[in-house]
Every structure is written in structure tokens, then in C-alpha cells.
Amino acid sequence: MKKLPLAIAQLNFTVGDVEGNTDQILAACHRAGNELGCRMVVFPELAITGYPPEDLLFRTDFLVAAEAALARVIREAGEICAVVGHPWRDNGTLYNAASVVDAGQVLGRYYKRELPNYGVFDEKRYFTAGAQPCVVSVDGISCGITVCEDIWYAQPVSDTVAAGARVILNLNASPFAIGKAHQREEQVVAERARESAVPVVYVNLVGGQDELVFDGGSFVTAANGQVLHRSPCFTEDLARVDLGDGGPVVDTCTPLPGPEDSVYRALVSGVRDYVDKNGFKGVVLGLSGGIDSALTLAVAADALGPERVQAVLMPSRYTRQISLEDAISQAQALGVEHLTLPIEALVKSYREQLDPLFSGLPADATEENLQARIRGNLLMAISNKTGRLVLTTGNKSEMAVGYATLYGDMAGGFAVIKDVPKTLVYRLAKHRNRSKAVIPQRVISRAPSAELAPDQADTDSLPPYEVLDPILKAFIEEDRSVAEIVAGGFDRATVEQVVQMVVRNEYKRRQAPPGIRITSRAFGRDRRYPITSRFG
């Protein structure tokens, strides 16, 4: 029986680090051949450049570097057959390509046919779609090459099988979203395998890139759609799979993480790679004693180690004693350095300067926001002096309705839970505490408050989060109208209030730092709404 030992190279590449990515590719080639005894190795989509390279693809010097890197892979990969993703220019046209390299030769080159142009993807801005299948024979096994989105459509796969493929190798850079791993396996790849009656090897990228996190979870399905192998999620992995006439032979199938576990690991991965790939020494954040900063601190400490995290308590006259106690308790439980910078004297100084201008005007949110902006200034000063990145702590529910202070608690370099709804924040805090109780129970159980005014509670300004979050999901992620949301059982006045708040605060979100995407539609590159609009 013919047998083809193949390695799945689930690796963490960095956009633009063409030389470093190529080093990783060659190291994996050598390890796959020498240690795992593999004849072939398959890498993720655009492995040489990292994904997504965005407007770097408009730079000729970038494309020249990518082409030189591919030539290096051809020269140095050795006797192993490597399937490598890269951009490629052909007669002045740019393609999202995958080359099959073996013993110093290119056996075949495939151009991605289905170019995604929705959500976070805008590949039609850069690439031209291919049209032809690519099938290569390696040790008597006919392998068909497809790239990412191709597997979501029947035609590229059926054409490849018609051209003689007996196994589909699918190179991916598929970012994480809640529930997407199950969708890939059960609704997409399994269906393609059954339709075409051939096994599929699905190789996915892993690691964080700006707002995106790639969760890995590479897998192999039999011709009947059954998952025979699954690489671990959120970690690099090089796994051997034996392909043959009788179908794939494997012995490892790592289970998929549950919803809260997958989101938490995505946040950890996103923070670690954003900080490390951008060269920051560590992070600093304001720790209030509330649930959002508590979750952010836990994620940061798990991502970077407590020694690279600094927590700053900045109490005002409205800060409750239990908030200070809980904040200190959590910092100590995590082993994170913490310091206290009271802001009352600074608030007084600001007020003395502004009171003559505000004479005769009643107190309002202006005085509340002063406190948040003073805190933002202090954190940015610490960042400037120490080289630590400021992590903001606002959640998706707050960002959606503008329950955040521009140039205050929104000021920073990276928004860890920007795409995490408030109700999910609580579930993630409980999930984190299952391994070790580092977030005080009182932080989880007591009513949330910004603590910018006497006896303040979030529900003074917002509907309960159990009501707010489903409305926001329907409007933001599902594009439902007010009428459609009301038909789902929500009070019309509440829905109209929430929608107006979302629309009115687009200008704030446009100035917010990038944050980790974990839902099907996040604020940022995922959702592009006009600031100036009278629709609705």
C-alpha cells in the first residue's frame, strides 16, 4: 500500500518578518523530515509573509522579499516536499499562491480561487482570483492544493478532485471567533469531504496579529467527514499524519476547548503576541476593583507572566474601600506589582482651573470624566517612562453604547476585552477562577459601578446587561432593525434607546485602540460604519 507521511506545520508567523518566517519554515521542514520521518510538510496560508499583510502587498520591495524567501525555501528545504503559502506576481498580476516545492524544484503552484471580501477580509483589494486546480503526485499519492476560503465552496474542491486529487490539502489563515472551530469542522470541511469522497488536511495558522487571533486547531477528516486528527488550539504544533490508499492514519485528536476556555485562551494569545511582536517590555493598567479590570489583569498576567505586568490603583473620593481591598487582593494573588496613586489632589487642581469657566453651570458628566482622564494621563506617563504598553479595560457593551470616557479609560495602546460583552466578562472571570481563585468573589458578585459619582451604578445609565447584550448582538453582529429586535420580545423604548446610543458613539469608537476580536463582528476593521449619518 502506498503511504505518504505528512507533517502539519501549525506555526505562529509575524506579518512582515519575511526572513524570520522563512527561518521557521525551514526549521519545520528539517524537523519534519529528520525527527518525524515525514516526506511532506504543509504550512498555513501566506506563511512567508504572515497573514494578513494588508497594504504591504502594494510595496514592490515587500513582494521582492517574499519572492526571494520562496527561492530560499526551494534551495534549502532539502529532500522534503513542502507546500508553502506566499504572494506571487505572474505577468503583473498578484495572486494569493501556494507552491509545492520538492528537491529544489516547484512541482506545482496554485492560485487561490475564492477571495473573501467580508468582515475582516478584503483580499479583492490586493489579489486576483485563480481559476485552475492544482494536483501534484508525491510518492504516488495525488494531492490537490486549495487555500482557505476555497474549502467553503464546493466548486474548487470538486474541480480539484476531477483533476485527479485523492486528498485535499487546504492551507488556512482562519481567525478565531466563538463557535467557528465547530463550524469549520462540522459544517464546512466535513461536507466537502463527503461531497468529494476524499480526505481533507486542514492546516491553520496560530497566534495573534493585531486585532485577530488565529486559533490553530488544524485537523484531518476522512472521506466520510469524520475528524481523525486535531492539533491543539492556540499553540504551535508539528504533527505527523500518514496518508495512503486506505485513507489517513493518525493517533491524536486533541479535543476542542469549550466556549469560555476558547475565548480566554484567545485573549491570552492576543495579548502575548501583540506585546511581544511589537517589542513592549510589559504592560500597565488601571486596577479599579471592578470586574473588567480584574479580568484584564488576569489575562495579562497569564499571557506575559506577573513580572511583566504593573497594576495601578488610582482612587478618588468616590472609590469604595472594598474596591481598593479587592484590587490589592487580586494583585497579590497573581503576584503582580501594584502601586497606589490617589487622584483627589489632581481632581481638585483641575477643578480650580475650570470652575471659573463653569460658573453657574450644574455639575454633570464633565466632572466625572475629569477623573477618568486624569487616570488616563497617569497611565500614559508611566508607559512613556517605562516602555510598558497601557492596556485599556473597557468591554464591548460599554464600547457599544459609549459608556466610556474618550481620552480617559479609553486611552491606551491595546483594548483586551473590547469585543467581550459584559455578560461574557462575568463568565470568563468565573472560568478563570476554576483553575485558581485569583479574582475576588466580591468583584464578581457585586453590582458594577464606574465609581465616578456617589452611589453610582451602571444601571443608572444603562439597561441591565442581561437585556442590553442581546440587543447589542442583534443590532451589531446580526444587522437587525429596531422592528426586528422588538419582534424578538424586547421593549421598543429600550431598543430605541440602545440603538441611538450605539449610533451616537461611533466617533468615540473610531478613536479607540485596537482590541482582540472574539465575536463574529467586532468594532474596528470588522464593522465599518459612518460617523456622520442620518439613517435611522
* Residues with active-site annotation: 45, 112, 148
Distance CA 72, CA 315 (A): 57
Distance CA 203, CA 10 (A): 6
What stretch of H or E contains 169? Answer: strand 167-172
For residue 464, whether the previous peptide bond is cis, meaning omega lies within 30 degrees of 0, is no
First to last CA, the chain: 65
Contact 55, 183 (CB under 8 A): no
The single-letter code of the amino acid at 113 is R
Backbone angles phi, psi at 173, to 5 degrees: -130, 75
SS3 category, 188? helix
Q: Are strands 237-244 and 3-10 parallel, antiparallel or unpaired?
A: antiparallel
SS3 category, 145? strand
Distance CA 463, CA 258 (A): 29
Q: Is 70 exposed, middle or buried (0-12, 13-18, 19+ CB in 10 A)?
A: buried
What stretch of H or E contains 96? Answer: strand 93-102
Q: Return the C-alpha cell found at 325.
A: 481591598
